[in-house]
Amino acid sequence: MSGSWRLASVALLSFSSGLPLGLVWIAIPAWMARAGIDIKVIGLFTLAQAPWSFKLLWSPSMDRYPPPFLGRKRGFILLAQVALLALGLGLAGVARHPEAVWVIGAFALAIAFASATQDIAIDAYAVEVLQRDEQGIATGARTALYRAAMLLAGGVAITLAAWTSWTFVNVALALLYLPMMLVTWRAPEPEALPPPPRSLREAVWGPFVGFLGQHRALEILAFVVLFKLAENLAMSLTRPFLVQVGFGDVDVGIATATIGQVAMILGTMAGGVLTDRMGLGRALWIFGVVQLVANLGYAAVAQVGVNRPVMYTAQALEYVTSGLAAGAFGVLLLRLTQKRFSATQYALLSSLFTLPRILAGPLAGVLADTIGWRNFFLSTPLFGIPGLVMLARFLPWGVRDVEFEVQEPVRRAPLSRSALVLRSVLGGGCGLLAGVSAVALVGGLGGVRAHRGFTVAPALRALVHPARIGEWTAIVGVLVLAGLVGLATAATLVARRGAPSPPEGAQ
C-alpha cells in the first residue's frame, strides 16, 4: 500500500506542476491576442519563461534551508501551491481588464517563478521518495499527468474561455491547487535521507563535486546534453514544414496537438515501464537508436507531399519513440541525482538537457533552407551519433543496468587555492567565450534564414549595447553559463584531486 501511495503522490504532484506551464506558455498569449494586444507586446510575454530556465540559481537554498514543516521538500511544494492559488485568483481579478497588460505580465512572471520553485521541489521529492523499482513507471505516469495538466490549462482553457470568460477560467484553474495541496499534505516522507548540506556554500559546491566525483562524469554530462539533439532538430520546425508541404491548419493541429500529444504520453509511459523490465542500460541504447530512425518518417512526408495517412503515421512514430526515449532518460536523471543535493543536481541536469533546444531551431532552419526538407530529415540521425558515442563511454552496449558511484580518490596532490582559483577563472572565461559564440552563431544563422547573409555583428553589438529585454536576457544567460563552467571547473579539480589545504595558521 505504501508503495502505491508513493507512486500516486509523485504522479499527482506532476499534474500540479503542469498547470502553470500551460497557463503561461499557451493560454495567456492566446488570451492577449484575442483581446487585441499588440503582437510585439505579446512577444515579451515569452520572457515569463525565464524562471524555468534559471531555476538552478535558487535551488541550492532549497537543499540547505528546508521549511520547518512537512519535511525537506513537501513544505516547499505546499508553499509554492499556496502562492499559485493566490496568484491565480489575482489574475482572475484583472481578467476583465486585458488592457492592463503589464499587470497581467507581472502575474505571469510571478506564476512562473512560483511554478519553477514547485518544479524544483517536486523533482527533488521524486528523487528522495521513489525506490529503484518504482522509478520507471513513476517517470511515465509523471509525464502523462504533466502533459494532461498542460493541455487542460492551455488548450482546454482557451476553449472554455470562449464559452464563459477568462475570469471563470482563471478561478477554476486556481482552485485546482486545493486538491493538490491535500496530496502534498498526505504524501509520504522518504524512508531515510542523508543529512542536508551544513551551509549554503556546501549546498552550492557539493552538488558539483558530488556529481563530478562519479566515474565517467564528463562523458555522462556530454550524453545528457547530446542525447536528444537529433530529435530536437527534427521537431523544432515540424509545424512550418507541414505548412510548406501543403497541409492545412486543421491537419497540422490534429497531428501536433492531438496525435502527437497522445503518442508522446503513451510512449513515455511505455518507456518507463519497459525500462524497469529490460534495465536502464538496454533501454537507453534501444530507445536512443529507435528515436533516430523515427526522424526518417518526415523525409517520407517530404517525398510524397500531401498525404494524410503518411503524415499522421510519421507524426505518431516520431512522438511515440521520443516518449520511449524520454521515459528511459527520466529514469537516468533520477538515478544520477544524489539525495543529499536532490534539488540542485536535478535542476542542473534537467537544465543541461534543454540546452540543445535553444540552438536547434536556427540550425535546423539553415540546414532545411540549404539542402531541402527531405535531405534535412535524412541527415538528422547523424546528429544523434555523438550522443551514442558518449553513451558507449560509460555504458557499453549489452550492459543491462548501471550503477553510479562516487569515487573516493585523490589521484594527485591537491592544487593550491590560488591555482584552483586561476583555473576556475580560466574555465569561466572559456564558458563566457562559448556563450558569446553561441549567441553570435544563433544571430548569424538567423540572418541566413532571413536571407540577409551570415553576419554575427548585430548579435555581438546587442551583447555590448543591449536595448531590448531579450538582449538583456541573453547577457544574463551568457554570464550564468560562464559562472557555471567556472564552478564546474573548480568542482572537477576538487573531485579529482581533493580540496586545497587551508593556509598555515588557518582554523
Residues 111-133 pLDDT 10s? 989 998 998 899 888 888 888 77
Is pLDDT at 473 greater than 90 in this prediction? no
Distance CA 124, CA 60 (A): 11
337 backbone φψ class: left, alpha, beta (φ>0; ψ -120 to 50):
beta
Q: Measured between alpha carbons, how far is 230 from 250 in angstroms, rounded to an integer?
A: 27
Mean pLDDT (the chain, rounded): 79
Residues 178 and 411: their CA atoms lie apart, in Å, by: 53
Q: How far apart are alpha carbons 270 and 11 in whole angstroms?
A: 15
**Domain boundaries in the chain?**
1-187, 206-408, 417-497
Q: What integer pLDDT is reported at residue 452 of this predicted model?
A: 67
Give 214's DSSP letter: B
What residues contact 505, with CB distance under 8 A and at least 6 apart? none
- HSE (CB half, 13 Å, CA atoms) of 339? 15
Average pLDDT over residues 367-380: 81
The pLDDT value given to residue 446: 64
Cell (9 digits) for 280: 536502464
Using an 8 Å Cβ cutoff, are 184 and 193 in contact? no
Largest Cα–Cα separation, the chain: 78
Residue 413 belongs to what H/E stretch?
none
Asked if residue 193 lies in contact with residue 339, where contact means CB atoms within 8 angstroms, the answer is: yes
Nearest to 121 by CA among 9, 13, 48: 13
Asked whether the beta carbons of 333 and 143 are under 8 A apart, the reply is no
pLDDT value, residue 318: 86
CATH top-level class for 206-408? Answer: mainly alpha
Residue 82 pLDDT = 95
Asked whether 102 and 38 are in contact (CB, 8 A), the reply is no
Dihedral in degrees, nearest 10, Cα atoms 332, 335, 337, 342: 120
Q: Which residue type is seen at 184? A: T
> Residue 1: its pLDDT value, please?
45
* Residue of 203, 185, 197 lying closest to 69 (CA atoms): 185
The three grid cell numbers given for residue 346, joined into one nine-digit string: 536535478
Model confidence pLDDT, tens digit, residues 217-262: 777 778 887 888 888 877 777 777 877 878 776 777 777 767 777 8
> Looking at residue 506, what is its pLDDT?
44
**C-beta of residue 98 within 8 angstroms of C-beta of residue 32:** yes
Q: Give residue 137's identity as a one-letter amino acid code.
A: I
Residue 326: which of 143, 152, 193, 196 has the closest Cα? 143
Specify the CATH class of 1-187 in words.
Answer: mainly alpha
C-alpha distances (whole Å) from 340 to each of 156, 248, 337, 406 are 39, 51, 9, 13
* Torsion from C-alpha of 434, 343, 332, 16, nearest 10 degrees: -110
DSSP three-state, residue 221: helix
Between residues 168 and 201, the one the model is more confident about: 168
Q: What is the pLDDT of residues 292-315, one digit of tens each?
A: 888 888 888 888 888 888 888 888
- Residue 408 has a pLDDT of 53
pLDDT tier, 139 (very low <50, low <70, confident <90, very high otherwise): confident
Integer angstrom CA distances of residue 39 from 34, 46, 460: 11, 12, 26
Supply the pLDDT for residue 360.
Answer: 67
Find out whether 215 and 313 touch, Cβ atoms under 8 Å. no
C-alpha cell of 268? Answer: 513515455
Q: What is the pLDDT of residues 409-420, one digit of tens each?
A: 555 666 677 777
In angstroms, rounded to a whole number, what is the distance separating the alpha carbons of residues 358 and 442? 9
Residue 406's beta-bridge partner residues? 214
HSE, side-chain direction, 13 A CA sphere, residue 198: 0
Decide which of 116 and 211 is more confident.
116
d(CA 204, CA 201): 5
Backbone angles phi, psi at 406, to 5 degrees: -80, 130
How many CB atoms within 10 Å of residue 371? 12
Is residue 369 pLDDT above 90, yes or no? no
pLDDT for 373 beyond 60: yes
Residue with cell 542542473: 348
So what's the pLDDT on residue 78? 94
At residue 114, the pLDDT reads: 93
pLDDT tens profile 51-105:
877 787 788 888 888 888 888 888 899 999 999 999 999 888 887 776 677 788 8
Q: Which of 65, 45, 55 is nearest to 348 (CA)?
A: 55
Identify the pLDDT of residue 507.
42
**Fold match between domain 1-187 and domain 206-408:** yes
Give the separation between CA 451 and CA 297, rounded to whole angstroms: 28
Q: What's CA 73's distance to the chain center, in Å?
A: 20
Amino acid at 200: L
What's the chain's length in residues? 507
Across residues 387-405, what is the average pLDDT?
Answer: 77
pLDDT band per the 50, 70, 90 thresholds, residue 214: low
Return d(Cα 197, Cα 208) in angstroms, integer.
13
Q: How far is CA 294 from CA 230, 313, 355, in A?
A: 10, 10, 22
Q: Please, are residues 280 and 402 in contact by the beta-carbon 8 Å criterion?
A: yes
Strand extents, DSSP E, 325-472: none
CB 117 within 8 A of CB 1: no
Phi-psi region of 145 (alpha: psi -120 to 50; beta: other; left: phi over 0): alpha
Band of pLDDT at residue 496, cut at 50, 70 and 90: low
**Residue predicted with more confidence, 450 or 198:** 198
Question: For residue 260, with 0-12 CB atoms within 10 Å meaning exposed, 13-18 middle and 19 or more buried, which class applies?
Answer: buried
